[in-house]
């Protein structure tokens, strides 16, 4: 299992719509809108890097209102 945080920078006024839309994705386990940067933090769990790549490079950026993303993969120490 691969876990990651995706930090979203969005257009003003789009937070509620984006949170609702991303919350429907089965890979999303937690989602928070924030004050400041990032605007939204999404915690995801996927089975492999291919799934993470698809999520981060194709699905999330296509959500209307998302301007950019910054992904941080969780590592075990």
2-73 folds as Alpha-Beta Plaits (3.30.70)
Average pLDDT over residues 58-66: 96
Which pLDDT score, from 0 to 100, does residue 33 have? 96
SS3 state of residue 38: coil
User: Would you kindly state where each structural domain of the chain is located, as residue ranges?
Assistant: 2-73
Which pLDDT band, with edges at 50, 70 and 90, does 61 fall under?
very high
3-state helix, strand, coil in the chain (%, to 5): 25, 40, 35
Q: pTM value? A: 0.93
**For the segment 15-36, what is each residue's pLDDT rounded down to a tens digit?**
999 999 999 999 999 999 999 8
Give the residue carrying structure tokens 């089975």.
47
Distances (CA, A) of 28 to 10, 12, 77: 18, 22, 23
The upper half-sphere exposure of residue 58, i.e. CA atoms within 13 Å in the direction of its Cβ, equals 6
């Amino acid at each position: 299992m691969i876990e990651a945080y995706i930090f979203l920078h969005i257009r003003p006024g789009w937070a509620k719509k984006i949170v609702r839309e991303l919350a429907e994705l089965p890979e999303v386990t937690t989602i928070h809108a924030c004050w400041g940067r990032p605007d939204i933090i999404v915690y995801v769990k996927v089975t492999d890097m291919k799934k993470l790549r698809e999520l981060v490079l194709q699905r999330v950026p296509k959500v209307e209102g998302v301007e950019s993303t910054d992904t941080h993969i969780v590592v075990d120490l």
